[in-house]
Amino acid sequence: MWMDDFRGIYYIVLKDMKTYYLKPPAISWGIVFPVAWILAFYLRNPRSFEDLVPGLIAMTILFSTTAAEAVVINFELRLGSLERLLLSPISLSAVLLGKVLGGAIFGLIMSTIITIGSVVVLGLYPNLFYLILIIIPSLLAFSSLGALLCVLVREVFEAQTLLNLPRFLMIFLCGVIRPVSSMPAALEYIAYGMPLTYTINGLWQSFSASPGTMILIDAMALMGFFILFIFPATKLLYRKFE
């Protein structure tokens, strides 16, 4: 049974990458939008671009992991593709995990491109271990967030609209442009209730000359968000087939 689930997850990821993620719209939304957004703030108030790199990588992770989630799950629910998958010996939770991992792997590809480009162009020297430690749970957290919000609604356009709300809230509140510590106390509490804050904190430490152990707390918090999102998403998906 476990082998069937693992095999099914592998082929779901492979199929989604070919069908949805490795397409120009998903790639442009995953890379071009974060780059354009960061450049807009940089041109408005020019300063050392190195300060914007953690926010750029974090935004790439956020948008690339959720770029096609709204289409992948809701579109296949309407077509009945997910029901056909269940005719094979694979559990519904494994199907959802395959969808989440597909988004995470696509996000890993996009964020790797942005990270390598930033490091090479700007001559940065991040701690590779810490970088991986914070990026992997971030990818899982945001991909599972996309899956959760998608199974809350029925239509693709509803899922896309619903996803935009937390994404843009996190851009303004989680330290992408302005440090969380400089915000009013009430907004700080809200910021620390959002996963992007921990991603940016961890990325800042990864690029720091003397990273601290707080990055471990950031990574654990992101894994907590992943668990917080994936379990209700699985239950909601089960209800759609009851």
In order of 199, 215, 225, the CA distances from 143 in angstroms are: 14, 20, 11
Residue 125: the pLDDT is 86
CA–chain centroid gap for 18, Å, is 19
Residue 1: the pLDDT is 59
Please give the backbone phi and psi of residue 126, each rounded to the nearest 5 degrees, phi first.
Answer: -75, 160
Residue 72: the pLDDT is 82
In tens digits, the chain (242 residues) has pLDDT values of 577 788 888 888 998 888 888 877 777 767 777 777 777 767 766 666 777 888 889 988 998 888 777 778 888 777 777 777 766 778 888 889 999 999 999 999 989 988 998 888 888 888 899 999 999 999 999 999 999 998 888 777 788 888 888 988 998 899 887 788 888 888 899 999 999 999 999 999 998 877 677 899 999 999 999 999 999 999 988 887 76
Owner of token pair 């099914």: 8
Nearby residues of 44 by Cβ (< 8 Å), 6 or more positions away = none
